[in-house]
Amino acid sequence: MPTIVAPEPATGTPIPEALPVPEATLPPQPRATPVPVPPTAPPVTGEAPAELLERLLADVIARTGAERDEIVVVRDEAVVWPDGSLGCPEPGMMYTQALVEGYHVVFDVAGVFYDYRVDSRDAFRLCENPVGEPPTVAPTR
């Protein structure tokens, strides 16, 4: 094994070139597969304002082409999101690190779930890759 010599602080002697050290070869690591966590309580419905629900339904209809009677509201509840990502962060984006009151709305269209995240200004987005813990239930408005 080669000896590495550190420079003398007072003299400023240069460090001799070090020999390359082979990197350890690690065995391939298995990829993690996300597993859905079963809900701890049944979903709540009836808490989102009617006008917000109508806007979200219009978005689902535009995305899917489904008829209104084919769409089932699985969840529409007032929640507090842990930060500005609304539990659905996008890579490379920065979010406010404060609690955000809003709504969590989920529709079922022929067995496909559409998970909408809504902030306190009623701005919404469809979340295709939710992460983290479910939001906490918001205090009664």
Q: What is the pLDDT of residues 91-104, one digit of tens each?
A: 899 998 999 999 99
Mean per-residue pLDDT, 44-67? 94
pTM of the prediction? 0.66
* The pLDDT of residue 15 is above 50: no
Q: How many domains does the chain have?
A: 1
Question: In this structure, is residue 23 part of a structural domain?
Answer: no
pLDDT of residue 46: 87
% of the chain exceeding 90 in pLDDT: 52
The mean per-residue pLDDT over the stretch 96-122 comes to: 93
123 within a domain of the structure (yes/no)? yes
Domain ranges, residue 81: 50-127
The pLDDT score that the predictor gives to residue 75 is 93
117 within a domain of the structure (yes/no):
yes
Which of 135, 128, 126 has the alpha carbon at shortest distance from 58? 126
Looking at residue 80, what is its pLDDT? 93
Residue 73 lies in a domain: yes
Cβ atoms of 102 and 85 within 8 Å: the answer is no
